[in-house]
Structure 1
Amino acid sequence: MLKEDKAGITYAKGFKAAGIKAGIKKSGNPDLALIVSDNDAAVAGTFTQNKVAAAPVYVSKKVVSSGSARAIIANSGCANACTGQQGMDDAKKTAELTASQLGIEPDDVVVASTGVIGVTLPMDKIQTGIKTAAAVLKADGSEAAASAIITTDTYIKSLTTSMIIDGKEVRIGAIAKGAGMIQPNMATMLCFITTDANIDQVRLQLALSEIVEKSFNMISVDGDMSTNDMAVIFANGQAGNKKIVKNDADFKIFYDALSELCCEMAQKIAADGEGATKFLTINIHNAENFADAKKIGMSIANSPLVKTAFFGQDPNWGRVLCAAGYAGANMIPEKTVVKFGNITVYENGTGASFDKKALQKIMAEHDIIIDIDLSLGSADATVWTCDLSYEYVKINGEYHT
């Protein structure tokens, strides 16, 4: 059963974690996380599609391509992006320092960073911090690790779930960070997932890649794609189930549980958007295909005019319809129906008659559902986003300084 659980990445058997203050952040908050599997784990990952990718992304892609790993070392407060050869050297050195402390190989270490772009890592603090983190690894260290990876998040994001496969309890846990610079594909988000499922790397990568497309790649806070995003999953096999090596019934059980967890985590990220006062769920119904449904959903989610209207509790359906129209997907205005909550605001090519007081009540709520029925096919998509507030401008106007 899926639940919000501080056990997070140490919920599955055979994982330890730590989160400490290495002094990378000026605020003095925790800023270095370490996650370790007791044994070799199958690893899968998805990464930012930004051409300007950070050094740790390149290092970690190589680790994932090897198929197995043991540890994740992640820092906040410095993105180590746009830092040239020095950045690459520092990312590799971070893996080497972590491996040395754990008695493993550097190519068994996933490296992640988040924070300000264009600043090199303070390697003296990283080195000392890794030693400290390795010394305090605990089977209940997930909450500390989750605290160490956040930047502008207002709370830690931690989920767990479990299922029965081959008569064995299989557990999955995750932590994530992300509140701003959120736009697929992937976002300024880090998501680390651990499971004790016994599953081969091919199946693990297949599941994660497909699930990310309908979870983390269906959210937007501000339309900006980050340089550092990654979602990485470790599977160490300690649940003892018969190894999943085919797309069979056991694989489907695992897949569905992982999908539910990732979709819930994606919503948490969107809901915690920088300065957000509203959480918007945009359901696109009956598009010709999924690609069109996603285009329209993301177009609405990324529209500053839509987002500011919802911040101001203004039921301006024209902005929603306009964003749908320029998405680059097939839609026919006369066939399209738009609803805010359970109230139809547009149909038959024009604005609908509705109870204004009832609509005002919906617009005042924190969670608002927008339904767009295109009446063109049978494909659906759901996108999650938030509003755009004065506080968002303040946070990002002062982020570097």
Structure 2
Amino acid sequence: MQVVTTQFQKVVFQWPQGFYSDGIHIGLRQTKKDFGWLFSKVPAAAAGTYTTNQFQAAPTKLTQQMISQDHQLQGLLLNSAVANSCTGEQGWQNALQEQTWLANKLNVDPELIGVASTGLIGAQLPMDLIKNGLPQLTPTKSDAVTYAVLTTDKKPKTICVQGELGGKLVTITGFAKGSGMIHPKMATMLGFVTTDAQIAGADLQHLLSEQVDQTFNQITVDGDTSTNDMVVTLANGLAENPVLTPGTADYQQFAQALHTVLSALAQQIAADGEGATKLVECNVTQAATAADGQQVAKAIVGSNLVKAAIFGEDPNWGRIISTIGATKADLDIDQVDIAMNGMPLVTASLAVPFDEAAVKATLGQSRVVIDVNLHHGVASGQAWGCDLTYNYVKINASYHT
């Protein structure tokens, strides 16, 4: 588990210098916002992480190709309701057409444009609605775009932090969507981070890839990895801070602030899991390796039996220890400690007396913390998930209709 301290402070949602957006309703959904854009007035350093699902959606594939060329991007076109996934050559051509339309609107090279879609797999985008909707998008400073990408989410996931780097005020603003099909192997569903910091694209990519492993990749709702998962980070440099260079104090401050943003978005997604009533956090300490710590933590928050027990407010630690044993982590099976919400349940792999009513009462809180000490090393791991409720089945039994 990485302990993050930073001079950056959380502030009210606002876009960094030079970033604009909008979100509108064009008819992809019945009434809610379903279409939007996000762009910088100048080309920005860009980094991305993408789903490892073999059926990678056309918009995800296109954006990955654009960013991987020279780590630059200037604009993104976003939609909900229709994922444009498993749509064949027509779906690919539709993504390219979206790219061209937005490039023409912004008067930039199409290679500076990405697209992102989320929603129903297998349906073609209604391109007439996209074409008619594009002229309606305006360059605002509102948070409307954060609503335009929602599907079963109850609310947008957003965060904004500010701090000084090299004597210049730097802003980092992020938003994400995700509620179901959450078990990422890179990021989860859709996430976007913007900043006016000045940093090289390759360095931004290194930071994002590293920190996604510690944040988005450590959440799970239902064990399913989407075809459209993507996290994109844009840095346009308009804060005019000295270029952030690895090994410097400012670079480390920026890295810590980015971690804060990604971690906050990841936790908000986990807390908003379909039908969820509780955010579940698992902290693993004294693991043999960091990979073991991460593996154990994510296995626990991903266990359906653990998730169901937490929904039922049942302090059944047997489900936790059996989940630990089912992993491939290097363990000393006689030395595992488990606590829930600070109350010890297991010491040295044996039950300890505890007030069941008191533990059960704490499990009624909106945040449940499971602490596991493996006593087998110095590494740690952290993961987030949610409880498994009746509503999860209800939502997903009728998603298509």
Task: With the length of structure 2 as denominator, give the TM-score of the two structures.
Answer: 0.96
Aligned letter for 1:220? T
The residue aligned with 1:177 is 177
Residue 137 (1) aligns with residue 139 (2): yes
Write the distance in 1 (CA, Å) between the matches of 2:281 and 2:376.
Answer: 21
- Residues 2 and 159, structure 1, Cα contact 8 Å, conserved in 2: no
Aligned partners of 1:5 and 1:384: how far apart in 2?
A: 25
Deviations 1:301-321 (A, max 9, x none): 111111111111111110111
The alignment status of 1:248 with 2:248, answered yes or no, reads yes
Look up the equivalent residue of 2:107 and give its one-letter code.
G
Q: Which position in structure 1 is the counterpart of 2:81? A: 77
- Pick one of 34, 38, 49 that aligns with 1:35: 38
* Paired amino acid for 2:63: S
- 1:111 maps to 2:115: yes
Q: 1:40: Cα distance to partner?
A: 1.1
1:378 equivalent to 2:381? Answer: no
Give, in angstroms, the shift of residue 344 of structure 1.
1.2
Instruction: Look up the equivalent residue of 2:12 and give its one-letter code.
Output: D
Q: 1:338 to 1:282 in 2, by over 3 A?
A: same
Q: Tell me, yes or no, if structure 1 residue 88 matches structure 2 residue 92.
A: yes
Following superposition of structure 1 onto structure 2, how do residues 176-215 of structure 1 map, counting pairs within 5 Å? 176-186=176-186, 188-215=188-215
What per-residue deviation string (whole Å, max 9, x for no partner) do you get for residues 121-170 of structure 1?
A: 1111111112211xx221x22x1100101111111111101111111111
User: Do residues 22 (structure 1) and 26 (structure 2) align?
Assistant: yes
TM-aligned CA deviation for residue 351 of structure 1: 1.7
CA distance in structure 1 between the partners assigned to 2:108 and 2:136 by the alignment:
17
TM superposition shift of 1:4: 6.4
- After superposition, the Cα gap between the structure-2 partners of 1:166 and 1:71, relative to the gap in structure 1 and judged at 3 Å, is same
SS at match of 2:80: strand
| Contact 1:162 1:169 (C-alpha < 8 Å) held by counterparts | yes
Determine helix, strand or coil for the equivalent of 1:334.
coil
Answer whether contact 2:20 2:139 (CA < 8 A) is retained: yes
> 1:264 corresponds to which residue?
264
Residue 187 of structure 1 and its aligned partner are, at CA, apart by 5.2
Q: Which residue of 1 aligns with 2:3?
A: none
> What residue in structure 2 maps to residue 101 of structure 1?
105
- Conserved 8 A contact 1:180-1:188: no
Residue 6 (structure 1) aligned to one of 13, 19, 23: 13
* Aligned counterparts of 1:59 and 1:197: Cα–Cα separation in 2: 25
Distance 1:248 1:32 in 2: 40
Distance 2:280 2:271 in 1: 8
Whole-angstrom distance in 2 between the partners of 1:47 and 1:4: 28
Q: Give 1:58's aligned amino acid.
A: K
Q: Runs of 5+ in structure 2 lacking a partner?
A: 1-7
Residues in 1 aligned to 2:166 and 2:294: alpha-carbon distance in whole angstroms: 36
Contact 2:10 2:162 in 1 (8 A): no
Deviation at 1:350? Answer: 2.3
SS at structure 2 position matched to 1:16:
strand
Identify the residue that residue 337 of structure 2 maps to in structure 1: 337
CA contact (8 A) 1:78 1:116 kept: yes
Q: Distance in 2 between matches of 1:154 and 1:281?
A: 20
- Three-state SS of the structure 2 residue aligned to 1:369 is strand
Pair 48,2 (structure 1): closer, same or farther in 2 beyond 3 Å: farther
Alignment partner, residue 222 of structure 2: 222
The answer to whether the 8 Å contact 2:45/2:201 transfers is yes
Secondary structure of the structure 1 residue equivalent to 2:119: strand
* TM superposition shift of 1:67: 1.5
Deviation for aligned residue 1:77: 0.3
Task: Report the Cα offset of residue 5 of structure 1.
Answer: 3.3
Q: Which amino acid aligns with 2:232?
A: V
Equivalent pair of 1:181/1:223 in contact (CA under 8 Å): yes
Q: 1:128 to 1:247 in 2, by over 3 A?
A: farther
Q: From the superposition, tell whether residues 2 and 190 of structure 1 become closer, same or farther in structure 2 (CA, over 3 Å).
A: farther
Asked if the contact 2:188/2:217 (under 8 Å) is kept, the reply is no
For the Cα contact (< 8 Å) 2:22–2:38, is it kept in 1? yes
Confirm or deny: 8 A CA contact 2:21 2:139 kept in the other structure. Answer: yes
1:74-120 superposed Cα distances (whole Å, 9 cap, x missing partner): 11001111111111111111101111111111111111000000111
SS in 2 for 1:353: coil
- Contact 1:43/1:64 (CA < 8 Å) preserved in 2? yes
- How many residues of Structure 1 are paired with residues of Structure 2 in the alignment? 393
- Structure 1 residue ranges without an equivalent (≥5): none
Once residues 52 and 12 of structure 2 are traced to their aligned partners in structure 1, the CA distance between those partners, rounded to angstroms, is 30
**1:26-65 superposed matches below 5 A:** 27-65=30-68
Query: What is residue 351 of structure 2 aligned with on the other side?
Result: 351
Q: Which amino acid aligns with 1:225?
A: T
Q: Distance in 2 between matches of 1:82 and 1:368?
A: 37
Residue identity in the other structure for 1:5: V
Instruction: Give 1:295 shift.
Output: 1.2
* Pair 330,392 (structure 1): closer, same or farther in 2 beyond 3 Å: same
Q: 1:317 is matched with which residue?
A: 317
2:281–2:301 contact (8 Å) kept in structure 1: no
Aligned to 1:302: 302
Q: 1:180-227, CA deviations, whole angstroms, 9 ceiling, x for partnerless residues? A: 110021455211111101111111111111111111111001111111
Q: Kindly, what percent of the aligned residue pairs are identical? A: 39
Please state whether the residue corresponding to 1:260 is helix, strand or coil: helix
Q: 1:127 aligns with which of 127, 131, 134?
A: 131
Letter in 2 for 1:392: Y
